[in-house]
Amino acid sequence: MSVWRLMTWMLTGSKQKSDAEVNRLVSCVITADDFWPEDLRHFNARTELKRFDASEEDLQSDHIFRKDGWMETSVSIEVPTRDRDPDGNGQTFTVSSFFYRKLTAVIETAFSDCASKFFHLTPFRRIWQSAVTGKEQQLYDELYTSDAWIKAHDEVQKQRRDDGCTLEWVIAGLMLSSDATHLTQFGHASAWPVYLFFGNQSKYMRIPQTIFDFISQFTKKKNRGDILAHCKRELVHAVWKILLDEDFVNAHKDGIVVKCYDGVCRRIFPRIFTYSADYPEKALLATIRDKGECPCPRCLLPKGNFSRLGLLSDLATRTANIRQYFCNRVIAARDAIYKLGAPIKGAALEQFLKGMLLVPTLNSFAEILGPLGWNIFAMFTVNLLHEFELGVFKSVFRHLLRLLYAINPEAINILNMRFREIRSFGKASIRRFPLDVSEMHQCAAWHFQNVLQCAIPAFEGLFPPDHDNVIRTLLFRLAQWHALAKLRLHMDDSLELLKHATRLLGQQLRKFQEFTCASFQTTELPFETAAWQRAREAKVDSTSASRSGMCWPKTFNLSTYKMHALGDYADTIRMFGTTDSYTTQIGELAHRQIKKFYQCTNKHNPMSQLAKQERRFTHVCRELDDIVDSDSEEKEENIPLTSRYHLSYRNAVNLATFLNDHNGDPAIKDFIPRLRAHLLARLQNFVNNLNCVFMPKRLQLNFMTYDICCDQDTLYSDRGDTIMMRSCEEGAGAHPFWYARLIRACIFHVYYEGARHYMDVLWVRWLGVEPGYCWGINQARLPKVGFVPDCESAGAFGFVDPALVIRACHLIPVFTEGRTDSLLCQGPSLVWPKDEVDNWTSYYVNIFADRDMFARFSHVGVGHEAQYSVSVQMNLEDISDDSNEGESSQVPGNEGPLGEREYEASRMDDVDPLSSSDDEDEDCINLESSLDGDGSGRESYSEEDTDVDPIF
């Protein structure tokens, strides 16, 4: 009856009760040891919420959790009226219901909270020495290990201690983010939240739920042009004048004494390091012209030079033309507007401000913190989400679609079909693509990221050969740059590689524009034309009516701020740490919490209710943190991260029956002899019991990532997942990894020296690298593999010790080579995944599937150091302004159809299967003894096979 009542409650009433929330209700409340139904007699939620709210109000006024509460005020700005008045012609406009929390109170609360026990108070540099090369390099990841924090810390320590203070002086690293958002999918309810994060806390633990400000936006019925834009700037900086109050300025100069969570009193100096925002908001905060001649908030490089991305002259110009704030000119312009009645966009005023690219608004940051030696323009960091994923790549992808429509509209259907054929990978690395990728309907940033990761095989062969080579190289350079810019851990070498990738990307973008784009006349895409038609229906006039039935020409534009910003990433990472610490994606995800709060309001005066919802949520979280902190020592890890892999003892089958049921399947040919040989190589003097075998459907692999964290891949035998292992091949042209498709994971019962053992084995189908194919970073080509043919000498199937598997890998079909049924005998087989009856002739290894995969192939992973047995040189070449920007269009080893070649697996006869070397990595010991089927490649490599790029 209890279950029936619970399910009835779930399925009736509000529709916001998900399965997960009902399960949480049962596990966290109903079945809790301290839950007693009698306590809920006469329970009323509204009464309890009022009591809950009053509990914080009952705290003493100087209590730390009372001081950081919400405060309500109004914001006033002066709207110019064009009247000549020496005393000022501005009319006061007031925005009410502005809720905020004092910055100093938020800082005190944060350092007194239990979460502050994980705060880093003293910055440091991380130096890593390679065990392979012996080279020492600085690592860049967190803000508290960045050059900016170390410099700020040194400046604080050098201040004179006039009051004889003996406390420890530390920095509170403030990381700001703001973005206007709609609170509902339909309607006009909106908020403009500002988020505060502390760089003292590791980015791996930072939770984007500390909201310290909401900015109410006044209703705009009609676009009032220049006046409205001016008022918006005035309002934003009026708000920041309230937030950057006298207490914050004093704390910035002299610090504030706080008793931290560990009971130690410290003097804390707040410092604003980064401000994450999209470009329109950066222009508002920096008080610059968003569509001016020099739109960058960090430098004064003219927009006409933005297309020179990556050239040495571009880098020199950025460094020499740092943006500065000119207060006197702004004051003079404001006097002309507010006292002389000059129009905001008047010719005289435009001429006066245009030279310095200013707007007639006093910058609150510069006015308040500028005298303290703080540079406002340095805090506007790069924004990978808006500048690249929703910026540069989105524009490139959209123009590629325009080119396909211009060349062959039917190619769009082929492109969509190819994306549908690409499998998902990982928990959320690559998701299933929609039916129509080309429509880009309601696409988020991760959609475009997935498209970029898989774009090379999808676009291959859809363009004329000379243009196809340019586009494939461009897509590779885009994916390479994106992977490097998004790494969570950088070193000196990887930053140099990012700079080099920026030069290559700029070079290839210019080649794409000058050669491919100039060869075709491109017009608007169908959905772009439809958008114009909807705009015409909303606003019909003579100008829009003349466009009826037309598709306007569209060209590819390199002179954009988002393109220009790509050149600042390497220096920004060196200064503030990696981009994942200050990406606007953090703020976008934090919007979810506001929208959840809004659903719990009655939609009347929502800002005050949002403030209450946040207080309740924060109060509960603090209580939960105390409970979790007190019980943390009693909890144990359920899944040991030290285990290399995990298989469950489920799905037991009789091996004889299993083999009999699949009689005739080429995958089970010589199954027992091969299995005995494999087990014998791993254990001598064993007696096997092959009557019963466990065949779990799921394999979980723990692996070390490039940034020295533990991650997990989950593979399923019925899904056709692929594994990768370290290769023991050596010499020129040796591939770093071996690949195999998982058929079954097996657990066999054996007796060894009289004791009973279970041996874990992976039954696989081997893939081999394609002989003669040139791939690598210098060639801008993905590795290509294919299934080893099922013949007498090839050894298409084999067994692998799961402890030697590195992780799962992502394969994408080479669509241009089509499918084939010649690699495996006809008929049903265990090797076919669901809904497949044949194989693609070849596959590309997707080295851009995630950041860890790219780091393995580019050798920039600190956590992957053990996998490199020899020193790897990145082979970077300098690019100067005078360099030839062309890249070779010849790809050695890529001539002729794959079906005209013959393949033979390498036998590795020169390797003793039971030997090991002390010089080799642990994963490589007895590797050959744990592999059967010899799936190292389709063809043995000779000393002359030097086409493979040694970078990989």
Identify the pLDDT of residue 920.
35
Report whether pLDDT(542) > 50: no
If asked whether residues 924 and 851 sit together in one domain, one would say: yes
Sign of CA dihedral 650, 833, 844, 446: negative
Report whether pLDDT(636) > 80: no
Range of the domain at 281: 92-129+150-288+360-381+589-624
If asked whether residues 224 and 119 sit together in one domain, one would say: yes
Identify the pLDDT of residue 820.
87
Rounded to 5, what percent of the chain is helix, strand, coil? Answer: 40, 20, 40
Q: Which whole number is the average pLDDT over 101-128?
A: 90
Q: Model confidence at 437, in pLDDT bands (50, 70, 90)?
A: very high
Q: Which whole number is the average pLDDT over 447-462?
A: 95
Between residues 87 and 893, the one the model is more confident about: 87
DSSP label of 217: P
If asked whether residues 248 and 185 sit together in one domain, one would say: yes
Identify the pLDDT of residue 243.
93
Is there a domain that residue 534 lies in? yes
Report whether pLDDT(507) > 90: yes
If asked whether residues 551 and 700 sit together in one domain, one would say: no
- Residue with the two structure tokens 């490139």: 396
Phi, psi of 613 (to 5 degrees): -60, -40
Q: Model confidence at 627, in pLDDT bands (50, 70, 90)?
A: low
Could you read off the pLDDT of 721-763 as tens digits, one per residue? Answer: 999 999 877 777 788 899 999 999 988 877 766 677 788 999 9
Least confident of 104-108, 562-566, 933-937: 933-937
For 821-943, where are the E strands, in sequence order?
839-840, 843-845
If asked whether residues 114 and 213 sit together in one domain, one would say: yes
Q: Which residues of 228-260 are buried (b: 16+ CB within 10 A; e: fewer)?
A: ebbbbbbbbbbbbebbbeeebbebbeebbebeb
If asked whether residues 668 and 701 sit together in one domain, one would say: yes
> What is the DSSP track for 364-404?
HHHHHHGGGT--GGGGB---HIIIIIIIIHHHHHHHHHHHH
Q: How many domains does the chain have?
A: 4
Tell which residue, 544, 554, 550, has the closest CA to residue 522.
554
Q: Which whole number is the average pLDDT over 116-131?
A: 90
Least confident of 365-369, 526-530, 926-930: 926-930
Q: Model confidence at 793, in pLDDT bands (50, 70, 90)?
A: low
Rounded distance, CA 501 to CA 310, Å? 9
If asked whether residues 368 and 282 sit together in one domain, one would say: yes
Q: Which whole number is the average pLDDT over 402-415?
A: 94
If asked whether residues 39 and 102 sit together in one domain, one would say: no
Q: Model confidence at 614, in pLDDT bands (50, 70, 90)?
A: confident
Between residues 689 and 221, the one the model is more confident about: 689
- Report the chain's mean pLDDT, rounded to a whole number: 81
Q: Model confidence at 663, in pLDDT bands (50, 70, 90)?
A: confident
If asked whether residues 36 and 97 sit together in one domain, one would say: no
Q: Which whole number is the average pLDDT over 221-230?
A: 65
Least confident of 209-213, 255-259, 518-522, 601-605: 209-213
Q: Model confidence at 62, in pLDDT bands (50, 70, 90)?
A: low
Is there a domain that residue 208 lies in? yes
Q: Which whole number is the average pLDDT over 223-241?
A: 82
Q: Which whole number is the average pLDDT over 256-275?
A: 93
Q: Is 874 helix (H, G, I), strand (E, B) or coil?
A: coil
Is there a domain that residue 582 lies in? no
Is there a domain that residue 191 lies in? yes
CA distances for 922 relative to 129, 869, 877, 893, 925, angstroms? 20, 11, 34, 34, 5
Identify the pLDDT of residue 898.
30
Q: Model confidence at 381, in pLDDT bands (50, 70, 90)?
A: very high
Report whether pLDDT(416) > 90: yes
Report whether pLDDT(919) > 70: no
Is there a domain that residue 306 lies in? no
If asked whether residues 710 and 855 sit together in one domain, one would say: yes
Between residues 843 and 211, the one the model is more confident about: 843
Is there a domain that residue 297 lies in? no
If asked whether residues 245 and 278 sit together in one domain, one would say: yes
Q: Which residues of 707-743 are buried (b: 16+ CB within 10 A; e: fewer)?
A: bbeebbbebebeebbbbbbbbbbeeebbbbbbbbbbb
Tell which residue, 334, 388, 376, 372, has the closest CA to residue 252.
372
| 341, 83 contact by CB (below 8 A) | yes
Identify the pLDDT of residue 792.
56
Is there a domain that residue 675 lies in? yes
The set of residues, in sequence order, having a beta carbon less than 8 Å from that of 303 and lying 6+ positions away, is: 293, 294, 295, 559, 561, 564
Q: Model confidence at 562, in pLDDT bands (50, 70, 90)?
A: very high
If asked whether residues 568 and 608 sit together in one domain, one would say: no
> What is the DSSP track for 42-72?
T--HHHHHHHHHHHHHTS-TT-HHHHTS-EE
Is there a domain that residue 840 lies in? yes
